Amino acid sequence: MYKRQVYGDGLAILVGDALLTLAFEVLAHDVRPAQAALACCRELTKAAGAAQLVGGQADDLAGVDAANDLESLKSIHRRKTGAMFLASLKLGAITAGADHVQLRALEDYGAALGVAFQISDDLLDVEGNEAALGKRVGKDAGRGKLTFPGLLGIEESRQWAVALVDEACTALAGLGPRAASLEALARYVLERDR
């Protein structure tokens, strides 16, 4: 399914560098006060750097998940998808002046939601493959990569996603009705069909 880029590798790499830099530019220029802007920059460096996003992607490229091991798979997704979910939540919260208790609630919400989202993504891949190819699902689902349904089976994966979404919503309890849209977003992860 690989499609050659229209603009070439060189420009694609530059666009990535420009967008990464732009994210820091928006935070450093537009968030007030200075302490919040700086906290946002720190949060993004943590999420986007070698410890999280880049590290998870590098392990993914290197085939660390070939160990056929749930902990490796969770670790890769926690750093790749999960860190970006968390950063999105925390940058908004810091900008809005959230306190430590609120930030902690959003961290718990985001951590659970990140895994739930990845499981639902894998399930959609599996269902897409089954519908399109009539093929048996398993370790080969999702272009030969290890997936949650491949490791746990479809039913157990579904149940885990439901449990994680409940966990995410429970984490929001202390935030009151203002968190209704975050709860709806979490529920949507179980319902989406693409």
Q: What residue ranges bind a second copy (CB under 8 A)?
A: 8-11, 13-14, 16-18, 20-22, 24-25, 27-29, 34-35, 37-38, 41-42, 44-46, 48-50, 53-55, 57-58, 61-62
Supply the angle between the helices 83-95 and 53-62 in degrees, to the nearest 10: 170
Q: Least Å distance between CB 17 and a second copy?
A: 5
Minimum CB–partner distance for residue 30 and a second copy (Å):
11
**Token pair of 66 as six digits:** 């070939």
Rg (CA), the chain: 18
| In the complex, least distance from residue 24 CB atom to a second copy, rounded to whole angstroms | 5
Q: Judged by CB, which is closer to a second copy: 52, or 157? A: 52
Between 59 and 130, whose beta carbon lies closer to a second copy?
A: 59
Contacts of residue 119, Cβ cutoff 8 Å, sequence gap at least 6: 148, 149, 157, 158, 160, 161, 164
Tell me, rounded to whole angstroms, the distance of Cα 96 from its chain centroid: 22
Q: Do 126 and 87 touch, CB atoms closer than 8 A?
A: no
CA distance 48 to 153: 31
Would you say 11 or 67 has its CB closer to a second copy?
A: 11
By beta-carbon proximity to a second copy, the closer residue of 63 and 174 is: 63
Minimum Å gap between C-beta 155 and a second copy is 34
Cβ 4 to a second copy shortest distance, Å: 14
Residue 160 CB neighbours (<10 A): 15
- Between residues 95 and 129, which has the closer beta carbon with respect to a second copy? 95
